[in-house]
Amino acid sequence: MKEFILGLEGLNCANCASKIEKLTNEIDGVDNATLDFVTKRLRVNIVEEDRSKGIIEEIKNIVKRLEPDVKVVEEGHDHQHSHDHGVIGKKDIIKIIISGILFIIPWLFKLDGTSRFTIYLASYIIIGSEIIIRAIKNLFAGQSFDENFLMTVATLGAFTIGEYPEGVAVMLFYQVGEFFQGLAVNHSRKSISSLVDIRPDYANLEKNEEIVIVNPKDVHIGDYIIVKPGEKVPLDGVVVQGKSSVDTSNITGESVPRTINIGDMVLSGFVNREGLLKVEVKKEFQDSTVSKILDLVENASSKKAPTENFITKFARYYTPVVVFTALAIGLIPPLFLGYDISDWAYRAFVFLVISCPCALVISIPLGFFGGIGGASKVGVLIKGGNYLEGLNEVDTIVFDKTGTITKGTFKVTEVDGFGETTADEIIELAALGESYSNHPIGKSIVDAYGKEIDKNRITNYREIAGKGTQSDIDGNKILIGNKKIFEDNNIKVEEKESIGTIVYVGRNGAHIGTIVVSDELKENVIKDIKNIKSEGIKETIMLSGDKEETAIKVGELVGIDKVYGNLLPQDKVKIFETILEETKGKVAFVGDGVNDAPVLARADIGIAMGALGSDAAIEASDIVIMTDEIGKVAIGMKIAKNTKRIVTQNIIFALGVKLIVLALGAFGFATMWEAVFADVGVSIIAILNSIRALKIK
């Protein structure tokens, strides 16, 4: 199976987008197709790659039939960006102007009879012929009940009953409304695009002692690039020369500049503020941080929120229901109750004009995409509208301890030796025993020893997951780790009470010393947990591989409701499964993204903390926080609530206005002028309201 991406340049009709998606999914050989109306991208999973050309050709025919002006462009995974500015061009504006002038002539010169009818008909043909042709084509293709069909029937009906001005007016103002709707949609798209447009335009490649300006895609791992003051860092790499301060806000949302020295990692999207930097490239452009972020944000709309899916289904049934209701209004009272047919036909045509569901179909995805775009600007990457909406339903949050609640930077704070064994001997043995370990606690012990380690003294090294290490040092069997590894070897330990992590040291079957390694709480974590709880969270839980007593003390300090300690990785998954079963709402897990991948993947919403450049975190989680600040979880929840509020406002406003005008139209109190407002006017207001989702306080 292979995924193909098709760009649909000039697509401004959300209803047509929904139909294109539906018809593409019905093609034999297509496993799944998702059309993102905001980015104008159709993602198609094709089962057999050798059939892809024929299937893509079929998709192009579907698009041509529904939207003749839309151009289909095959895109690669490097994402080409189209620069179309909507369907309506100069030719369409000229049509609107000419039709508008003809429309006012009969009124200005008080024309009557044939001359009046002829001018209105000319005005109608100029402005409406394209819509009528499209309606007929769609009708023969089995795609009735779209806005072209509704406008055609309503306006031709108005002409039939002698309401020429209103027939022309509806078509004219519908086209004007479509023009402004196109502008509003494009404005929204541009606002979102500019908000997340952190893509660097070029790279200064050092080649044969000269600087060459190249596309970042042409730079490779091991190349050297120069980043001048004021320029964006184009690719991820390590500084090999120079010192500067960089603005990381594009990536992390942090406004405070960061000082960069030789040996420090810089990420694509950072902006160099001061000095000249020479950087050794460590990742290809397609694997760089900026590419990952753009890919996540631009593709987030393909994972639709339940509200979006509901509106799509609702629109599918809503329009036919309104059409048949209009038919009943136009026929039943005159045929069975003897009322005037022209009066009730007019009411039916008003009904038809109102029935287009564009306001909902456009504004809802724009609202969610605005929320996702705004969140990315503050360093919170949300991988889909479903996860953004899902944040509103979370009532339990489970936290990992190390790297999430605490800094994960361990320091040796106490060393005890028993009997004739000194503290210096204990730290030396422990450093030798942990010299092969990548665990933060092991590294902190090696750092505390601070001397060169002779690895020739170490043999038979073995790491025991979740317990510690075992090795032979100078011919002695050395055990280093928690209480469990000593119990497995039938060695009794002298237990120690401490808020830090206790590391026991054993030699030849005896406990000879203890090391205390402490991990600091993150700054503002107590306040951050309070803020998270204030967002409607009923229960907070912490899971830790640390000693239970230590974990409980940390939990009490920061205000966590329930704490589990002494957990191996598999224990975390088991306990998390139990929490999921016992909780009615959604459960979110917040972890550091690498060691917690199984739990992140199992959670209703997995949130990876401090995942700057971490592939494992981005892969396993649903939301990625680009810094290690737990406070961003509360910000993400606020954004989710604000987005939901805007989307709900749009639904209530659009449906409310339509239902009121439908009722007024049915009872003869609304004209086609009100009906046009209920269609295109409501759409424009709802779209502009959606833009507010971009604003993050």
Give, for 160, the enclosing helix (H) or strand (E): helix 147-160
Tell the burial category of 509 from Cβ atoms under 10 Å away from its Cβ (0-12, 13-18, 19+): exposed
- At residue 219, the 3 state secondary structure works out as coil
Question: Which residue has better confidence, 224 or 690?
Answer: 224
- In this prediction, residue 83 carries a pLDDT of 42
Asked about 218 being catalytic, the answer comes back as no
In angstroms, rounded to a whole number, what is the distance separating the alpha carbons of residues 431 and 59?
63
> Is residue 78 over pLDDT 50?
no
* pLDDT band at 369; cut points 50, 70, 90: confident
Q: Taking residues 393-406, report their average pLDDT.
A: 90
Q: Which of 69, 92, 400, 592 is catalytic?
A: 400
| For residues 242-268, average pLDDT | 85
pLDDT digits (tens, 9 = 90+) for 426-448: 999 999 999 998 887 898 999 99
Checking if the pLDDT of 153 tops 50, the result is yes
Q: In sequence order, what DSSP letters do the residues of 119-134 get, joined into one string?
A: HHHHHHHHHHHHHHHH
pLDDT digits (tens, 9 = 90+) for 623-682: 988 887 899 999 999 999 999 999 999 999 988 988 898 888 888 888 877 887 777 788
User: Mind listing the pLDDT tens digit for each residue in 497-551?
Assistant: 777 788 999 999 999 999 998 888 888 999 999 999 999 999 999 998 877 888 8
Written in H, E and C, the secondary structure of 276-311 is CEEEEECCCHHHCHHHHHHHHHHHHHHCCCHHHHHH
Q: What is the pLDDT of residues 199-211, one digit of tens each?
A: 788 999 999 889 9
Question: Which residue would you say has higher pLDDT here, 644 or 686?
Answer: 644
Q: What is the DSSP string of 89-122?
A: -HHHHHHHHHHHHHHHHHHHTT--HHHHHHHHHH
Q: Is the pLDDT of residue 91 over 50?
A: yes
Mean pLDDT of 303-326: 80
Q: Is the pLDDT of residue 77 over 60?
A: no
C-alpha angle 376/306/679, rounded to 5°? 90
CATH code reported for the domain at 385-405+522-621:
3.40.50.1000
- What residues form DSSP beta bridges with 625? 380
* Per-residue confidence (pLDDT) for residue 578, from 0 to 100: 93
- Helices in 496-630 by DSSP H: which ranges? 525-533, 548-558, 569-582, 597-602, 615-620
Q: Is 413 helix (H, G, I), strand (E, B) or coil?
A: strand
Structure tokens at 165: 């001005």
Q: Which band of pLDDT confidence, cut at 50, 70 and 90, is reported for residue 593?
A: low
Residue type present at position 187:
H
Residue 84 scores a pLDDT above 60:
no
Residues 235/205, Cβ–Cβ less than 8 Å = no
d(CA 449, CA 432): 9
CATH 3.40.50.2030 applies to domain 203-298: no
Mean pLDDT rounded to a whole number for the chain: 86
User: Could you tell me what percent of the chain has a pLDDT over 70?
Assistant: 91
Supply the CATH classification number for the domain 408-520.
3.40.1110.10
d(CA 481, CA 489): 12
pLDDT surpasses 60 at 124: yes
CA–CA distance, 517 with 481 (Å, rounded to integer)? 12
What per-residue confidence (pLDDT) applies to 191?
60
Judge whether 466 and 480 are in contact, CB under 8 Å: no
pTM over 0.75: no
CB 177 within 8 A of CB 681: yes
At 131 the pLDDT is 87
pLDDT at position 294 over 80: no
Domain boundaries in the chain?
2-75, 90-193+300-368+642-694, 203-298, 385-405+522-621, 408-520
- The answer on pLDDT for 394 being more than 60 is yes
**Model confidence at 80, in pLDDT bands (50, 70, 90)?**
very low
Has residue 106 got a pLDDT over 90? yes
Among 3.30.70.100, 3.40.30.10, 3.60.15.10, 3.40.50.620, what is the CATH number of 2-75?
A: 3.30.70.100
